[in-house]
Structure 1
């Protein structure tokens, strides 16, 4: 579904990515792992058209999307939950959700307002509240719900549960497990390795803008040297 080949990108004259390659298949959950500043968010920004690559290829659903405007890439069927959430603070929960409503899956529309509110009961309780009046965890739920309202074929989450209370984290991991069970492809960045090992099919470890390891959850669980070298601060 998503194929990234030899991706090179950076900011100004500073190169951040040095030939990153990975893929996400239909229905797969794949993680991008690595310490802070190693290129994970830069990779997501390049995939979403928020940063123009200087070399390499990005293909989604058989189409070359590298360098296309962000809205054109999103229209192909990629839903993004960005780092920092970036909800609309002056809109209500319901208005935030309705604002992104679309059907980009190419099939039957799965996610509607009632479905998203049922997925996140906290949002249903606060549907008339402004985005600025929500807690951080509620804002993250809203960001996920907003992405789902586009009915994407691929959901990308950058720092899915960073800085959230344990009870909120557990709720979000439960939602992601349900989405996986329903066959939604997911590309995921997070630091909760235990949860990622339970959820993901494959992991891609990035160090200084290059892929240094890739493999299954079982393989990563059995590779303490990889975890110690590339994932522990």
Structure 2
């Protein structure tokens, strides 16, 4: 479904990505791993048109979306849970969810079933939520676009352990329902419980790819590229 080929990107004269290749098939969960500052978020921004690539190709089902405006990427079926959550602060939980809604299997009732806490706080403003609740809302908002692929940038960064567990359970449930997911996070042990494949980047280049079985059998990958 999603294909990223030889992607290059820069901020001004500072090159960040040097030929990133990755792909996500329908119903597949793929992780994008690497230490801070290695190009993970830049890859996501380049996919979603928030940063225009210098070279390479981004496509969905073969349709070229390289450098397309973000709304076109969303229309193609990609939903983003951005780093920092970026919920609408002056809208209520329910208004946040309705703001991005498109017809499909995900509606308010299903989001509230996935995250009962959002149902309890549906009239609260975005600024009145905890970090964990904001992350639930950001995921719910992305799902309300009824995407074919949901992309999570730093899925559990800064969250308490119990909330992290809730987010991992949510992602496992989404996978069981056939959702395609591309996820960035530092918790490799949690990701290997439900992800299918892993892409590791170092200084803007892909340095390792493999299945969950392969990454578990290759501890030197974590030691070399993922540990601080």
The TM-score bracket by the shorter chain reads over 0.9
Q: Does 1:229 align with 2:224?
A: yes
Aligned residues: 228
CA distance in 1, matches of 2:2, 2:72: 15
1:117-132 → structure 2 map (5 Å cutoff): 117-132=112-127
Distance 2:2 2:224 in 1: 28
In structure 2, the residue matched to 1:158 is: 153
Cα-to-partner distance string for 1:202-222 (whole Å, 9 max, x where unaligned)? 000000000000001110011
Q: Aligned match of 2:166 in 167, 171, 174?
A: 171
Residue correspondence of structure 1 range 68-217 to structure 2 within 5 A: 68-103=68-103, 109-217=104-212
- Once the two structures are TM-superposed, the CA of residue 61 in structure 1 deviates from its matched residue by 2.1
Q: CA deviation at 1:118?
A: 1.1
For residues 5 and 121 of structure 2, what CA distance do their matches in structure 1 show? Answer: 42
Quick one: distance in 1 between partners of 2:43 and 2:76? 18
TM-score, normalization: structure 2?
A: 0.99
CA distance in 2, matches of 1:226, 1:76: 34
2:44 corresponds to: 44
Q: Cα deviations across residues 81-137 of structure 1 (Å, max 9, x unaligned)? A: 00000000100000000010013xxxxx11001110111000000000001000000
CA distance in 1, matches of 2:122, 2:220: 46
Using structure 1 for the length normalisation, give the TM-score: 0.97
- Which residue is equivalent to 1:53? 53
Structure 2 stretches of 5 or more lacking a match?
none
Shift of 1:54: 0.7
TM superposition shift of 1:199: 1.3
CA–CA distance in structure 1, aligned partners of residues 124 and 49 of structure 2: 31
Q: Deviations over 1:14-56 (max 9, x none)?
A: 1100000010011000000000000000000000000000100
The secondary structure found in structure 2 opposite 1:102 is coil
Matched residue of 2:193: which SS?
Answer: helix
User: What RMSD in Å do the two structures reach over aligned CA positions?
Assistant: 0.6
Cα separation, 1, equivalents of 2:57 and 2:125: 40
* Partner Cα separation in structure 2 for residue 63 and residue 145 of structure 1: 27
Task: List structure 1 runs of 4+ shifted beyond 3 angstroms.
Answer: none
Structure 1 portions without partners, runs of 5+ = 104-108
Q: Residue 26 of structure 2 corresponds to which residue in structure 1?
A: 26
